[in-house]
Amino acid sequence: MTEPVFSPSAARYDSMEYRRCGRSGIRIPVLSLGFWHNFGSYKPFQEVKAMAHCAFDSGICHFDLANNYGPEYGTAEENFGHLMEASFRPYRDELFISSKAGWDMWPGPYGNWGSRKYLMASLDQSLKRMKLDYVDIFYSHRWDPETPIEETMQALVDIVRQGKALYVGLSRYPADKAQEAFSYLAEHDVPCLLYQDRYNIIDRAPQCSGLIDLAKENGVGFISFSPLQQGLLTGRYLNGIPADSRMARATSLREDVLTPAMMDAIRGLNSLAESRGQSLAQMALSWLLNDTRTTSVIIGTSSVAQLKDDLKALDNCYFSEEELRRIEEISAPVQLKTL
Ligand SMILES: NC(=O)c1ccc[n+]([C@@H]2O[C@H](COP(=O)([O-])OP(=O)(O)OC[C@H]3O[C@@H](n4cnc5c(N)ncnc54)[C@H](OP(=O)(O)O)[C@@H]3O)[C@@H](O)[C@H]2O)c1
């Protein structure tokens, strides 16, 4: 037998907390790692590998992907496939890996939205890129207003029956459609494992729409993405726009979000974090984890140093009433309440 190239820390499960996904047998780490940015073709593979190894060594065994993560579309999944070959293959049964389809992926009428044709073909492509026989969870990445919800949900059910995914999830569904989808899946014995949405100190949409409670009532776990609002809820933009930042790359985070009100909120939250002995990124993550309805938060990172900083959030997830009140007061002027 050949020695594995990668030898993860024997203590990797010692300091991570694992929470149960709704009414299921599955627990996932409270911090999960997302491959949306910084894991595709623009990033040297050595850096991708270093971040993924650091995560796994620290107990992060859930990796969140989608067909179109990169950038370039598909390249984050390709790099995950390289990781499987380079290091992770012997640890496949320790990993919980997701993929998704629902946003634009390839040209023409079959490479977008929620048809059975798109979901089935996309997952086959993802499995090839990631060099996997199955994913642990496959998501419908967004609600499609033009495809009957029964068609999208039946495709998810059949994907599980085919053994290509063990569980299914939903992302970015309006509350009424999420309820229809949860019910359909439960009635077909493939209960939804996780509902995924953007949720953080600034973006309160899933709280305001009732989705977080709805997921709980349906026995579905809630997993938050962009917990740092793509880097706004960190020290990254306190003194301008760093050249190597997501905002400077002008992909998904625009400069015009840095309004005077937003800068006031970021500075105020940063001071509060300092008084708690945390970085702003750590406090933003701790705030989410303080709510036990949150199963996990999917962090993004562009370096091992950021990842290590984020991991320290687990050291202090307790907030006094006064601290929670201050967070509401400071963030109120910039809170987003709808999708
Ligand atoms: N379901 C969906 O529709 C959907 C949509 C979006 C995302 N997601 C998932 O959620 C994951 C996370 O999203 P996200 O990347 O937007 O998450 P995020 O955690 O809100 O933002 C990550 C960015 O914050 C900055 N950062 C992280 N830690 C830091 C630290 N300690 N100090 C300073 N800056 C720090 C980095 O910015 P720089 O790059 O500037 O260094 C990093 O790229 C994605 O990878 C994906 O898996 C899902």
Could you identify the atom of ligand 1 that is nearest to the CA of residue 100?
1
- Tell me the C-alpha distance between 24 and 220, whole Å: 8
Give the predicted TM-score (pTM) of the model: 0.97
Residue 10 identity (one-letter amino acid): A
Q: Which of 229, 231, 263 is nearest to 244 (CA)?
A: 231
Which residue from 197, 201, 236, 279 has its CB within 8 A of the most atoms of ligand 1, so it is best to mutate?
Answer: 236
Instruction: Give the count of alpha carbons within 13 A of 104, CB side only.
Output: 4
Cβ atoms of residues 12 and 56 within 8 Å: yes
Tell me, what's the pLDDT at 3?
47
Which pLDDT score, from 0 to 100, does residue 339 have?
A: 75
CA distance 234 to 216: 29
Instruction: Tell the residue nearest (CA) to atom 42 of ligand 1.
Output: 301
Q: Helical H runs in the chain?
A: 45-57, 75-83, 116-130, 149-161, 175-187, 205-208, 211-217, 246-249, 260-275, 280-289, 304-311, 321-331
- Determine the distance separating the centroid of ligand 1 and the alpha carbon of 301, expressed in angstroms: 6
- pLDDT confidence of residue 338: 85
Atom number of ligand 1 nearest to Cα 248: 40
- Name the residue ranges covered by the structural domains of the chain: 18-236+282-317
Q: Which of 68, 55, 66 is nearest to 137 (CA)?
A: 66
> What number of other Cβ atoms are within 10 A of residue 113's Cβ?
21
Ligand 1 lined by 77 (C-beta under 6 Å): no
Compute CA 48 distance to the chain's CA centroid, rounded to the nearest angstrom: 17
Q: What distance in Å separates the CA atoms of residue 206 and residue 174, rounded to the nearest whole number?
A: 9
224 lines ligand 1 (CB under 6 A): no
* CA 184 vs CA 61, 148, 180, 191, 211: distances in Å: 29, 12, 6, 8, 17
Query: Can you say how many angstroms the Cα of residue 24 is from the centroid of all Cα atoms in its chain?
Result: 19
Structure tokens at 6: 């990668």
Looking at residue 156, its amino acid is L
- Ligand 1 mutation pick, 228, 266, 307, max ligand atoms within 8 A of CB: 228
List the CATH code of the domain at 18-236+282-317: 3.20.20.100
Q: Report CA-CA distances (Å) from 197 to 98, 147, 200.
A: 15, 21, 10
Question: Which pLDDT tens digits describe the chain residue by residue (339 residues)?
Answer: 554 579 999 999 999 999 999 999 999 999 999 999 999 999 999 999 999 999 999 999 999 999 999 989 999 999 999 999 999 999 999 999 999 999 999 999 999 999 999 999 999 999 999 999 999 999 999 999 999 999 999 999 999 999 999 999 999 999 999 999 999 999 999 999 999 999 999 999 999 999 999 999 999 999 999 999 999 999 999 999 999 999 999 989 999 999 999 999 999 999 999 999 999 999 999 999 999 999 999 999 999 999 999 999 999 999 999 999 999 999 999 999 987
* Ligand 1 pocket mutation, candidates 30, 35, 36, criterion most atoms within 8 A of CB: 36
Quick check: CB of 122 below 6 Å from ligand 1? no
